[in-house]
Amino acid sequence: MNPNNQGKSAQPQPTDPYEQILFRGYTEDEIAEIKILMENWDKATYSTLALSIVDHADRHDFENNYLKYLRKAKNFNKKGARKKILSDGAVRWNKGNEFLIERNGKIVSYGEN
């Protein structure tokens, strides 16, 4: 045991403060799922991917329920959705009261109208 590490967690802590927000309150298994779901996202104009997800989730009424937000975005069913190419090349999908925006096959935003 290293005496310099007494009382410290063996698991590395996220260095991105928005990852800390994103992971707060979740179990290790849920954090692992969040990390897998994050692979489907593009940070777009944000400085970090976690900041993008936290900001979009908060703006779309999923504050502190980030895993649900990521799951809903991942499970968005494009079949029968209206597709629109945006001026920046991103694709917006609309279906019912939901929308999904993708760029280069990665999710940029999800929301419910």
Q: How far is CA 71 from the centre of its chain?
A: 9
Residue 3: the pLDDT is 45
Domain range summary for the chain, segments of one domain joined by +: 16-112
Residue 15: the pLDDT is 82
pLDDT tens over the chain, length 113 residues: 444 445 555 556 658 999 999 999 999 999 999 999 999 999 999 999 999 999 999 999 999 999 999 999 999 999 999 999 999 999 999 999 999 999 999 999 999 98
Laid out side by side, the sheet with 82-85 consists of 82-85, 91-95, 98-103, 106-112
CA-to-CA dists, residue 1 to 9, 10, 62, 92, angstroms: 12, 11, 41, 53
Which residues have C-beta within 8 Å of that of residue 48, sequence separation ≥ 6? 16, 18, 19
pTM (predicted TM-score): 0.84
